[in-house]
């Protein structure tokens, strides 16, 4: 069966990033602050998913967003017709990573053109079978869903900001998606339960039939009514910039499902491992450099490494 296509909605942004230890730039000088780095949830997710499947993006950028980035996306087969160029500045986010690179503080979020963004899907996007609702306002995520004819498989991401600020809309969204992808801190916040196993049970009861809880460098856990699966993260020698790891994970996961065309428990296990492998490329470089020219073969090679990480011989 041929690979299905994926619709991705999310942010396209300029990121200003502050790291605890100096990172060597492309020109060879060490720096801790990188400004005007191309980022955004839709950018990371679409570059990642396009290693597997045809991708269409719905987003908004400002006058200042480089045409060269959109051109590079098109060169990977990404359909950019759904990216609106609005009159104003692009979304901008500034983040400072903590000493261990695991945690980060959002220093500034400038919505700019995102403030008045109303997603409008080009007519032929309506029948896209797989959908990734990247981390944006849950009201906008619902607006996208309303313009789609019953997709086969819909994944959503969210964050603490919407969990505490938009409870009602988020509850509505959870009833309409097939898979929720969040991190452990967000799972605790959403459920009000500290224990991850019980938090997962609580979240599944709110609507999504499947749940992925990401645990950063420790990997991720998948839950559905057939059981639990834990995927370890790769042990990387070079972790530079964790920005976009979650979006690249979701892009790789959905990319794999688009290729496979099935959403059963075993397929989900494989999808989780492919998401993990994809995300490992994102964190090795600043910004989107790690996923901008990612190939399907690159991902396959890392999946092979993950397989050997937790093989246990029969007794």
Stretch that binds ligand AMP, among 9-17, 66-74, 233-241, 269-277 (CB under 6 A): 9-17
Interaction residues for ligand AMP, span 201-260 (CB under 6 A): 243-247
Rounded CA separation 102/123 (Å)? 41
Interacting residues of 31 by C-beta distance below 8 A, sequence separation 6+? 22, 23, 25
Interacting residue with ligand AMP among 8, 19, 39, 220 (CB under 6 A): 39
Q: Which two tokens stand for residue 249?
A: 């994970």
> Cβ closer to ligand AMP: 4 or 215?
215
Cα 263 to Cα 146, 154, 266, 269, distances in angstroms: 22, 11, 8, 10
Stretch that binds ligand AMP, among 39-47, 147-155, 218-226, 297-305 (CB under 6 A): 39-47
As measured in angstroms, the least distance from the Cβ of 156 to ligand AMP is 13
Q: Does 78 bind ligand AMP (CB under 6 A)?
A: no
Rounded CA separation 75/53 (Å)? 14
| Helix axes 196-204 and 184-191, enclosed angle (nearest 10) | 60
Taking a C-beta distance cutoff of 8 angstroms, is the pair 38, 64 a contact? no
As measured in angstroms, the least distance from the Cβ of 12 to ligand AMP is 8
Q: Rounded to an integer, what is the distance from CA 158 to the centroid of its chain? A: 10
Interacting residue with ligand AMP among 7, 59, 132, 136 (CB under 6 A): 136
As measured in angstroms, the least distance from the Cβ of 157 to ligand AMP is 8
Interacting residue with ligand AMP among 4, 6, 9, 15 (CB under 6 A): 15
Interacting residue with ligand AMP among 135, 276, 278, 280 (CB under 6 A): 135
Taking a C-beta distance cutoff of 8 angstroms, is the pair 257, 250 a contact? no
Element (H, E) at 164: helix 160-165
Q: State the CB neighbour count (10 A cutoff) for residue 85.
A: 15
Interacting residue with ligand AMP among 5, 109, 147, 160 (CB under 6 A): 109
Residue numbers at the binding site for ligand AMP (CB under 6 A): 11, 13, 15, 39-41, 93, 109, 135-136, 161, 243-247
């Amino acid at each position: 069966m041929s690979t299905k296509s994926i619709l991705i909605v999310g942010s396209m942004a300029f990121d200003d990033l502050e790291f605890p230890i100096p990172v060597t730039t492309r020109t060879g000088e060490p720096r801790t602050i990188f400004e005007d780095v191309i980022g955004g949830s839709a950018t990371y997710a679409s570059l990642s998913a396009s290693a597997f499947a045809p991708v269409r993006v719905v987003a908004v950028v400002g006058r200042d967003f480089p045409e060269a980035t959109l051109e590079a996306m098109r060169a990977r087969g990404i359909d950019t017709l759904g990216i609106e160029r609005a009159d104003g500045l692009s979304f901008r986010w500034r983040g400072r990573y903590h000493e261990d690179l695991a945690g980060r503080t959002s220093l500034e979020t400038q919505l700019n053109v995102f403030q008045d963004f109303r997603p409008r899907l080009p007519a032929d996007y309506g029948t896209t079978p797989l959908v990734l609702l990247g981390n944006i306002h849950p009201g906008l995520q619902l607006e996208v869903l309303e313009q789609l004819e019953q997709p086969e498989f819909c994944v959503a991401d969210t964050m603490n900001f919407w969990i505490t600020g938009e409870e009602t809309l988020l509850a509505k969204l959870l009833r309409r998606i097939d898979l929720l992808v969040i991190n452990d801190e967000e799972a605790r916040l959403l459920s009000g339960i500290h224990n991850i196993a019980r938090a997962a049970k609580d979240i599944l009861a709110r609507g999504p039939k499947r749940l992925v809880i990401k645990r950063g460098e420790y990997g991720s856990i998948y839950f559905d009514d057939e059981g639990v699966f834990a995927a370890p993260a790769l042990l990387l020698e070079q972790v530079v910039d964790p920005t976009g790891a979650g979006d690249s994970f979701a892009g790789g996961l959905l990319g794999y499902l688009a290729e496979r065309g099935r959403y059963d428990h075993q397929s989900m296990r494989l999808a989780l491992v492919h998401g993990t492998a994809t995300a490992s490329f994102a964190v090795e470089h600043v910004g989107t450099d790690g996923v901008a020219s990612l190939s399907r073969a690159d991902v396959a090679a890392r999946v092979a490494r993950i397989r050997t990480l937790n093989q246990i011989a029969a007794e």
